Chain A
Amino acid sequence: MKIFKNLLESVKPHFEEGGKLEKLYPVYDGMATFLFVPGHTTHSGAHIRDGIDLKRTMITVVFALIPALLFGMWNVGYQHFLALGMNETVTFLDQILFGATKVVPMVVVSYAVGLGIEFGFCIIKKHSIEEGFLVSGMLIPLIMPVGIPLWMLALSTAFAVIIGKEVFGGTGMNILNPALTARAFAFFAYPAYMSGDKVWTDTSLEAGQTLVDGYSGATALGDLAVKGTTHLSPMEMFIGNIPGSIGETSVVAILIGAALLLFTGIGSWRIMLSGLLGAITMGLIFNAVAPYAISPEQQAFMAVPFWEQLLLGGFAFGLVFMATDPVSAAQTTRGKWIYGFLVGLLCIMIRVFNPAYPEGVMMAILFMNVMAPLVDHYVIEANIKKRKKRIQVKTA
């Protein structure tokens, strides 16, 4: 650590006022505070400062994402060799190394593009670098299919950072979750690379390799939306060795991350719990009305037991890591309950009713992101009304 400290101290004069690289001060500041606790103190008034600033918060979320990331890497390799029928012969290490060669470039591209744009904006606008992208940069590759070309990933990231965040004023001001904005952009711009049953597994073949007969790369959700049944068992969905976006398949890995978020108090337990309740409610409603569905496929999808709906697709990932985004979620306590509940409810509703958007959780969260300020507004209004009544009763 001393080396870093000395290095930072030695280059500091260049970045301060009058130095050669004065314009790049935000970059220096960002790097310095990334490595060390900022040295500046509050200037006026009495403030209670907590050791946990934005950077610490963000890095905790990144830690929480690591189980999902590692599992995703392994699963990419596992799915690849499964499609080739080679899982008996290759080792665990082969699988994870193959996955790493696919996933690491995606993470690098996502961070390079996103941070590059953020740094650029900070230099132009002359404010210090915010750390919001630390999490988004990790989330974006985790919610993309492995088959997506890197330039599409880069473009989606750029779109999310510029249109989803910077135009609203940067970190903390965005209406929509940036990572989901990136996914939504890619989903609508390049549907052929974001849906269907070809994109979820890397099926690139080397000389002498062939795909297994009857191989299907469809996700459980894709299957259910089209046929109403899936060959994947609930246990597989729970463990996560199934096709899907890189980080979202394993409910186990996500639950480990969720535990860390809840333990540190960074993720809102209210949103997670109410989201779960919302999804269960909608699942039960569908179970009850399944006999009246219009088509046999839909009937079969509706009849999927409510607890299985929770394991399907990106629901768990979205609820734990995206819906709880402190910026785009509702801010009031009661608002969080309403917001989370509706995320869960809408997620199941969208995925069942609209086969074109099997990944309902993306739409549900983005929609509720937009509605969150409205929810907050009415919660606050209701509170004001309640308290006003109390005053009137007293004075009367």
Chain B
Amino acid sequence: MAEVLEKKKEKKEALFSKKNRLLISDPLNDSNPITVQVLGICSALAITVKLYPALVMSISVLFVLGAGNVIISLMRNIIPNRIRIIVQLVVVAALVILVDQVLKAFAYDVSKELSVFVGLIITNCIIMGRFEAFALANGPWKSFLDGLGNAFGYAWILLAVAFFRELLGSGTLFGYPVFEKLGVYNTGYVNNGFMLLPPMALITVGIIIWVQRSRNTKLIEEN
């Protein structure tokens, strides 16, 4: 009897209860996959030279992570524990190939620019990490929200880094020549070539972490 009651309670939980909302908002700040968990750094360094590829990459990860989390969550009770990594890999790989084909068909230029990095979404630690840590133990709706939250957390860092790198490195935003239109170059300003190199992406991520930690003091470890 008690069991049934509990089940009912669970079902009654609103779609956007406080707990569920936390699944989306938490990865944006307190447990951000890039700045706090330090996952997915490779792609954050590699494809943040321009905003557009970063946006496409974010959407791709959003799709793969959202869909993947739901699929894994639905299969969580039938996946044999010993081969779960392989199953997860197959799911990601299938989704990534799907994304890759869509990009090749509809956004060929970006697909060429992102080149190998679309394929490398498979190895993005955030995705396997969420499968392992969340989707295997939670229902599809929650997993979906968790996937969205983490993808958004990944996306905003990616876009923030790309924003500064494109603006300061090339003087453009989404290819639009902002600085030229504003007449900034007439004052003697020159684009910063260092911004286009990967080390500067790392430093930009570092600065974001710095700002985040100084605003959100509970992230600071005691020692």
Contacts and interface: CB of A to CB of B under 8 A. Distances in A.
A189 B203 contact: no
B45 interface: no
A291 B182 CA distance: 55
Given A149-B188, A151-B188, A167-B210, A190 B193 contact: yes
Contacts of A193: 190
B194 interface: yes
A185 interface: yes
Nearest to B189: A151
Contacts of B46: none
B195 interface: yes
A32 interface: no
A149 B206 CA distance: 28
A167 B203 CA distance: 11
B192 interface: yes
Contacts of A215: none
A105 interface: no
B194 A188 contact: yes
21 contacts: A149-B188, A149-B190, A151-B188, A151-B189, A152-B190, A163-B203, A167-B206, A167-B210, A185-B194, A188-B193, A188-B194, A188-B197, A188-B199, A189-B192, A189-B193, A189-B194, A189-B195, A190-B190, A190-B192, A191-B193, A193-B190
B204 to A, nearest CB: 11
A349 to B, nearest CB: 22
Please indicate which of the listed interface residues B192, B195, B197 has the most CB atoms of chain A within 10 Å of its own CB. B192
Nearest to A167: B210
Nearest to B195: A189
A146 B188 CA distance: 16
Please indicate which of the listed interface residues B190, B194, B199 has the most CB atoms of chain A within 10 Å of its own CB. B194
Nearest to A192: B190
B195 to A, nearest CB: 7
Interface string B179-193: 000000000111011
Mostly, the B contact residues are helix
A188 B194 CA distance: 5
Contacts, number: 23
A149 to B, nearest CB: 6
Contacts of B203: 163
Please indicate which of the listed interface residues A151, A163, A189, A193 has the most CB atoms of chain B within 10 Å of its own CB. A189
Interface of A: 149, 151-152, 163, 167, 185, 188-193
Given A189-B192, A192-B190, 19 more contacts: A149-B190, A151-B188, A151-B189, A163-B203, A167-B206, A167-B210, A185-B194, A188-B193, A188-B194, A188-B197, A188-B199, A189-B193, A189-B194, A189-B195, A190-B190, A190-B192, A190-B193, A191-B193, A193-B190
Interface string B184-223: 0000111011110101000100100010000000000000
A190 B188 CA distance: 13
Contacts of A163: 203
B199 to A, nearest CB: 8
A186 to B, nearest CB: 9
Nearest to A156: B194
A151 B188 CA distance: 9
Nearest to B190: A190
A120 to B, nearest CB: 14
A167 B197 CA distance: 21
Nearest to A193: B190
A192 B195 CA distance: 15
B40 to A, nearest CB: 23
Contacts of B210: 167
A152 B199 CA distance: 19
Contacts of B194: 185, 188-189
Contacts of A167: 206, 210
Nearest to A190: B190
A123 to B, nearest CB: 15
A185 B203 CA distance: 12
A189 B192 CA distance: 5
Contacts of A190: 190, 192-193
Contacts of A185: 194
Contacts of B206: 167
B73 to A, nearest CB: 41
B169 to A, nearest CB: 9
Nearest to B199: A188
Nearest to B187: A151
B192 to A, nearest CB: 4
B14 to A, nearest CB: 44
A152 B194 CA distance: 12
Contacts of A152: 190
B126 to A, nearest CB: 26
A163 B207 CA distance: 9
Contacts of A151: 188-189
B208 to A, nearest CB: 13
A190 B206 CA distance: 22
- 5 nearest A-B pairs in the assembled complex, by CB-CB distance: A189-B194, A188-B194, A189-B192, A189-B193, A190-B190
A173 B199 CA distance: 21
Contacts of B197: 188
Interface string B135-176: 000000000000000000000000000000000000000000
